Structures are given as structure tokens and as C-alpha cells.
Amino acid sequence: MGLEKNRQYGDSTVSVHGGEAHHKALDSITDPVVMASTYTFSDTQSVIDYIEENQQRGEYGRYGNPNEAVVESKLAQLEAGEDAVLYSSGMAAIVGVIMAKLSAGDEVVFFDECYHRSREFCSKHMSRFGVVTRQVEACNYDAMEAAITPNTKLLVSESPTNPHLSVVDLDRFAAIGKRNNVETLIDATLATPYNCRPLIHGVDYVLHSATKYLAGHNDLLAGVIIGDRVKLEDIRYLRGILGSINSAHNCYLLQRGLKTFDVRMARHNANGQAVAEFLEQHPRVEKVYYPGLASHKYHDIARAQMSGFGGLITFEVQDADWRQTADIVDRCRIPKIGPSLGGVESLIEQPMVMSYYELPATERASYGIKDNMIRMAIGIEDTQDLIDDLDQALKG
């Protein structure tokens, strides 16, 4: 028994039970963590059967492990995709898909507001292998279509973007890909399948840093690509060569984190909205970037294609230089100073210091990073405690 194959279950049921056997090895309610680097065969004929019949079983740990298979199936179901390939980090997932899909002479087009390491990997490293990276302004669909050449193989964007929270019109984005016979990829780390499902809009691949909301506890790194099984075949095959796989123990922790994904996301969304509304009316705050606010540039499209807006909020402090902004960060008692997002603990950071410190001021400015900007990754603490803490930090 177990979940019926053809029935549509609610997201919380899928978070808890999706991809899992109803009755498990050793009568355990949890999946045993299989600590094995290799998997053995009872005799030579079973090796031959495995190869000839393409049997689903373990062979060597770099190609997969049973705990990973459970998490991949759960993630594919949550995202309404056919298959999922899990990686040791979100960056490993980005590297995996780019390396599998692009060859010398091919081109990739990015919307420019995206995780700076993804951009860096393509522009600095794939260029060494003859891949051309083009960047166009985020959400400028005409510019993206104009950047496509006969060599373009992939269009990439985040939605929402980080740290500006711009929301891509996924129908338009996917349509540009289809019209030009180019595949599309959305990094939906900030949205999660709880708030938005890009595959339903016709996007080919959805990518997540599962380190964030999916795992949810700031205690592991993981990444995942979800899409059609056939399209993921070469990606999975290459991962087996690259070796960017998660350990069984990490997969177990991710599976455990996913059990509460639905309830955590409801709280992240509620806290995010409440804190964003509080910040917007605060006299010391100049501007708030949060797609759930009517003032946000992409609020309408966010409302149309998202069911909630998550816990990431960026804001600018009124008349503050970088030091006065840092003082506000330092006065916070609940959020801890650190990069990342999506965990139960709130985090706070000043992008100018945390991620862009080494860059010249002009380059920082070209990415829209201002000295008076603060980025908060709202956790699942009590809403009023978070608001009171921010209020005292802003008052100084």
C-alpha cells in the first residue's frame, strides 16, 4: 500500500509521504540511512541482468544511493515534475546542468539579476570552454529575445531574483524559449514549489538550492534540478562522472527537513508579509523590496503566478551611509548575521558587505547593490518578536 499513483494529494501529504515506501526496511517508520560506497551482486549473472535489463538498484555510490532516490522522488512530486536530480549543493546543480547542456560555440542568456556565482561560473569559467554568456536586464523580455542567436541553447533566470525580488513572467519567459527552440531554466530557490511551479508555465527545468527552504534548517547543502525524465538523462549521467552527489546522511536530513516544508512555508510567508508591511511604514525605511507589497514593481505578476511571497525581504534605510546601516544590522538581537536564507532561524546581512565587498563601488552599483541596503531572510520565529526587534534596531 502507500500513496495511490494516480491520485493528486495535497502538498503537506506529499511533503511527509511522497517518494517513500509505505512499509520500510526493518519495519522502521523512517528510511534507514544506507551508508555504502558500493553495492554488491550475489553472482555474475545478477551483474549481467542489471546491465541488460537496466534494473533499478544500487551499483556504485557516485551514481546514486537509496536515500537520494527517495528525496529525488519527493522533490519531483512537490514540483509537479517527472524526475529530479539531486546534487551536493545548488551551485553543483547549476554547474551540472550548464555542463551537460552546453558545448563550445553554444550560448546562454541570463537575466542579469541572479545569484552572482551562477553568473560568474558562466562568464568566467564556461568561457574557457568556448561557451558564450550574454546578460540582459532582468524582466526585459524583448532584450532577452533579441539576445538569442542560432547558437543559443539555454535561457536562465531566477524568479524571484535575489536580492531585488523581481518576479519573472514565467509564461512570457517560457514562450520566448519555445518560439526560438531554446530550452529555459528557472532558479526558483526563493519561490519554492509551495509558492510557484514554473514547470506548469512551460519552463523546461526548475533548479533549487535545496540548502534553503527545502531543507529548511540551515544545516546542510544540496541542490536539485527538476523536469522531464528524458531531458534530465544526460544531466544525471554527467553527475555520475562529476561526482557531485549528496551523502546518504545528507539526503536523510533533507528528507527530514522536507517533512515540515509545507508548515514552515506557511509561516515564512506570513512572517515575510507582516515584516515587509511593518518596514514599509517605518519612518527610517526608504524602500522595501518584497513582491507581496502593492508598491513592488512586480506585484501584479507575483500575485498572478505565486500563492505566497516567502521570507526574503530587502530594504533601504533612509539617509544612511554604509556604517549607519551596519549599526542597524549589529543592533538586531534575533536575526543572526550571515548569508543564506530559507532556514527556521532568521538571518540578516548587508549585501554590500556580505557578498559584494571586494567589488569596486561602480560594479556594485551596476548590480543595484546600495550601501544602505539590508537583506533579511525571515525565519519562523514569532512575528511580533521579529517586528519588535527590528523596531528597536532601527530606532538605535
Ligand X SMILES: Cc1ncc(COP(=O)(O)O)c(C=O)c1O
Q: Restricting to residues 41-70, name those near ligand X by CB under 6 A.
A: none
Grid cell at residue 71: 528525496
3 Cβ contact partners less than 8 Å away, ≥ 6 residues apart: 9, 13, 14, 17, 18, 22
Q: State which of residues 113, 187, 371, 389 lies at the interface with ligand X (CB under 6 A).
A: 187
Distance CA 252, CA 273 (A): 31
249 Cβ contact partners less than 8 Å away, ≥ 6 residues apart: 33, 35, 67
- Note whether 376 binds ligand X by CB under 6 A: no
Chain centroid to CA 56? 28
Report, in Å, the least distance between residue 197 CB and ligand X: 17
Report, in Å, the least distance between residue 41 CB and ligand X: 35
Distance CA 208, CA 224 (A): 5
Nearer to ligand X, 91 or 313 (CB): 91
Q: Restricting to residues 67-106, name those near ligand X by CB under 6 A.
A: 89-91
Nearer to ligand X, 162 or 218 (CB): 162
Strands 312-317 and 336-337, how do they pair? unpaired
Grid cell at residue 63: 551514481
Whose CB is nearest to ligand X? 90
Taking contact as CB under 6 A, which single stretch among the options 1-9, 34-42, 131-139, 186-194 is the one that binds ligand X?
Answer: 186-194
- Note whether 356 binds ligand X by CB under 6 A: no
Nearer to ligand X, 87 or 278 (CB): 87
Classify residue 130 as exposed, middle or buried by CB count within 10 Å of its CB (0-12, 13-18, 19+).
Answer: exposed
Report, in Å, the least distance between residue 323 CB and ligand X: 26
Report, in Å, the least distance between residue 332 CB and ligand X: 20
Q: State which of residues 223, 257, 343, 351 lies at the interface with ligand X (CB under 6 A).
A: 223
- Note whether 162 binds ligand X by CB under 6 A: yes
Nearest one of 159, 166, 164, 230 to 198, comparing CA atoms: 159
Q: How far apart are the first and last CA of the chain?
A: 59
Taking contact as CB under 6 A, which single stretch among the options 52-60, 182-190, 281-289, 359-367 is the one that binds ligand X?
Answer: 182-190
Site residues (CB under 6 A) for ligand X? 89-91, 115, 158, 162, 187, 189-190, 209, 211, 221, 223
